[in-house]
Structure 1
Amino acid sequence: MPLKADPASASDTLAPVVLFCYNRPHHLQQTILSLRANYLAAETDLIIFSDGTRSQADEADVQKVRNFLATITGFKSIRVHAASQNLGLSGSVIQGVTDTLACHNAVIVLEDDMLTTPDFLEYMNQALSIYARRSNIFSVTAYAPPVAIPAGYPHDVYLAPRASSWGWATWADRWAKADWSVQAFEKLKTDRAFRTRFVEGGDDLWPMLAKQQKGIIDSWAIRWTYSQFINHALGLYPVRSKIRNIGTDGSGTNFTFKTGYYDADLNAGPVIMPTNLQPDSAVIREFRKYYRLPLYLKIKNRIKYGL
Structure 2
Amino acid sequence: MLAPVLLFAFKRAHELQQTLSALRANYLAAETELYVFVDGPRRDDEVDKVNAVHAVVNSIDGFKSVHRVYSKHNIGCADSIIAGVTQILKQHPSVIVLEDDVVTTPNFLDFMNQSLRLYAFVPQVFSIGGYTFPFRKPDQYANDGYFFQRTCAWGWGIWADRWNQVDWSLDDFDAFMANPLARRQFNAGGSDRVRMLKRAQTRDIDAWDIRLCYAEYKAGGYTLYPTISKTINIGVDSPDSTTEVVYDRYRPILDSGHQRVFALPNLVEVHPGYARQFRRKFSIPVRIWNKLLTYGTVVFRRSKRA
2:284 is paired with a residue whose SS is coil
Corresponding position of 1:276: 267
Q: Does 1:134 align with 2:151?
A: no
Moved more, 215-224 or 27-36: 215-224
Corresponding position of 1:151: 139
Corresponding position of 1:206: 194
2:21 to 18, 24, 33: 33
Q: How far off is 1:152 after superposition? A: 3.5
Percent identical among aligned pairs is 39
2:10 to 10, 17, 22: 22
Q: How far off is 1:153 after superposition? A: 3.0
Corresponding position of 1:285: 276
1:149, 1:192 → 2: CA distance? 33
1:221, 1:285 → 2: CA distance? 22
State how many pairs are aligned. 287
- Tell me if the contact between 1:20 and 1:48 (Cα under 8 Å) persists in the aligned partners: yes
1:109, 1:16 → 2: CA distance? 9
Q: Where do 1:30-69 residues align within 5 Å?
A: 30-69=18-57
Corresponding position of 1:236: 224
In structure 2, give the amino acid aligned to 1:285: R
Q: How far off is 1:275 after superposition? A: 3.1
Corresponding position of 1:111: 99
- Tell me if the contact between 2:280 and 2:286 (Cα under 8 Å) persists in the aligned partners: no
Output one character per residue of 1:46-76: Cα deviation in whole Å (capped at 9) or x when no partner: 0000000010111111000001111110000
TM-score, with normalisation over the residues of structure 1?
0.89
2:174 to 186, 190, 207: 186
1:201 is paired with a residue whose SS is coil
Output one character per residue of 1:158-183: Cα deviation in whole Å (capped at 9) or x when no partner: 11110011100000010010111123
Q: How far off is 1:135 after superposition? A: 0.3
Q: Does 1:94 align with 2:82?
A: yes
Q: How far off is 1:297 after superposition? A: 5.7
Q: CA RMSD in A?
A: 1.8
Output one character per residue of 1:6-25: Cα deviation in whole Å (capped at 9) or x when no partner: xxxxxxx0000000000000
Moved more, 42-51 or 113-122: 113-122
Which ranges in structure 2 are unaligned for 5 or more consecutive residues? 292-306
Which ranges in structure 1 are unaligned for 5 or more consecutive residues? 1-12, 301-307
1:161 to 143, 146, 149: 149
1:252, 1:149 → 2: CA distance? 35
Q: How far off is 1:278 after superposition? A: 2.2
Moved more, 77-86 or 138-147: 138-147
CA 249–172 in structure 1, closer or farther in 2 if over 3 Å, else same = same
2:140, 2:172 → 1: CA distance? 38
- Tell me if the contact between 2:125 and 2:268 (Cα under 8 Å) persists in the aligned partners: no
- Tell me if the contact between 1:106 and 1:170 (Cα under 8 Å) persists in the aligned partners: yes
Q: How far off is 1:217 after superposition? A: 1.1
- Tell me if the contact between 1:120 and 1:242 (Cα under 8 Å) persists in the aligned partners: yes
CA 109–252 in structure 1, closer or farther in 2 if over 3 Å, else same = farther
1:138 is paired with a residue whose SS is strand
Q: How far off is 1:250 after superposition? A: 3.4
1:216, 1:282 → 2: CA distance? 34
In structure 1, give the amino acid aligned to 2:9: C
TM-score, with normalisation over the residues of structure 2?
0.89
1:86 is paired with a residue whose SS is coil
1:146, 1:291 → 2: CA distance? 14
- Tell me if the contact between 1:149 and 1:286 (Cα under 8 Å) persists in the aligned partners: no
Corresponding position of 1:121: 109
Output one character per residue of 1:165-223: Cα deviation in whole Å (capped at 9) or x when no partner: 11000000100101111233223312111111111110111110011112211210000
Corresponding position of 2:61: 73
2:49, 2:284 → 1: CA distance? 35
Q: Does 1:220 align with 2:208?
A: yes
